[in-house]
Structures are given as structure tokens and as C-alpha cells.
Amino acid sequence: MASSVHWGLLWQGRCGDIVDAASTPDSRDDPIIVLAAAWSGRAGLAERAWEGMSPARRPLPQAVFARASLDVVHGRLREAQQGLHRGSDAAHATGMHTQFEVLAAWAALRAGEAAQVVAALWPGLVELDGPERRAISEWARLVLGLALLELERPADAVDVLGPALEPMLRARRLLMVTATGYALAEARLRVGDAAAARLVLADVRD
């Protein structure tokens, strides 16, 4: 299965299908296997997939991204940020810089640096073209929305998270639907709109 197909499955939340493909010859050296396992709570499997990856592939941007994602899962936030920084030039050259930036922001949020996340993501928040790019934009909105909630800015969080959730649901990009829905519901509760919060939860649970 091609790596581009894997990315589509990833945003759909079909991490199990990606991991299952690891048994096929053309997928054993694919960093998306590491990413799918890490993002579906199977860190041990992700580590084994990483160890099985050829050394020649590990410096490539997708592999750097997968390794940094796994480091975030393990709580090795400094290592994740350092790896992303070292790989930033290659990420720009291959069009993966946005993914690197959002993952770095997620690591910063996990490290308690919500204000830094807002400073990094808010100015450049744009709607990106194409299904995969749109998914990255939605992920950026989730990270930014969570940071705004940490900073007690729920009205801004509503404005950021709302435009992410509806297209996720419509396009069945389900990987981050639950997290986005719960964050939006929390934001709506904090601005005093309990009815809207219940509607959001109902949409996510359907």
C-alpha cells in the first residue's frame, strides 16, 4: 500500500488498517506504520516498527516526524522538539514543514507552553488546499484551541475549533474528531452555552 494511501487512512482514524499492512513487503520500511501505532496507543509496537526501519530511511522527513511523534507519546518532549528542529530544512524541501510545525506546537503544549503555541500557530492559521492539507489545518486548530483553553480564552477557542469539527465529520476524517469535539464542547460550556455543548457532543457520538 502506498504511503500516500496510508496518510489518507491515518486521518480517517484507520490506524489498525495501516498497522495490519506492516505484514506486506512494501510496507515494512514505511514510517507511517510507526506513526499509526504511536497515535493509536501502541507505543511498543511503534518502537518495534522503528527498530525494523532501515537506517537509510530514518533521516527522511516522514521518518523524523514519526520518531518525534513517538517521542511525544513517551513524554520525551525535548527530544521530539530537537529532532523536528534538526529535520526542519528537509521538511521545508519536501513540503512537510506544516506537519513539523504543528507537531512541535503539540510538544510545546504538552510541556505547558500554551502561550508559545498560540504565538506559533495563530498568525499563520490558514485553510490548506486538498484533503490531506485540510486535515493538517484541522489538527493545527485542535492544538491551538487546546492552548487557548489553557490560557482561559474559551471564546477564541470556539472560533478556532468550530471550523475544524464540521468538515472533519463531513469528510469522515475521524482521527481527531473526539478530541476536537470534546475541546469545542468544553469551550462552549465555558462561555455559558451548555445547549450548544450538548449538540457538539451529540454530533461526535453519533
pLDDT, tens only, 132-143: 688 899 999 999
Q: How far apart are CA 184 and CA 197, in angstroms?
A: 7
User: Which residues, given as ranges, of the chain have pLDDT below 50?
Assistant: 1-2, 4, 129
The predicted model scores a pTM of: 0.90
Q: How far apart are CA 122 and CA 146, in angstroms?
A: 12
What integer pLDDT is reported at residue 170 of this predicted model? 92
Long-range Cβ contacts of 103-106 (<8 Å, 24+ apart): 103/65, 103/68, 103/69, 103/72, 104/80, 105/140, 105/143, 105/144, 105/147, 106/72, 106/143
What integer pLDDT is reported at residue 20 of this predicted model? 81
Please state the length of the chain. 206
What integer pLDDT is reported at residue 19 of this predicted model? 84
What integer pLDDT is reported at residue 67 of this predicted model? 96
What integer pLDDT is reported at residue 165 of this predicted model? 95
Q: How far apart are CA 26 and CA 101, in angstroms?
A: 29
What integer pLDDT is reported at residue 1 of this predicted model? 46
What integer pLDDT is reported at residue 3 of this predicted model? 56
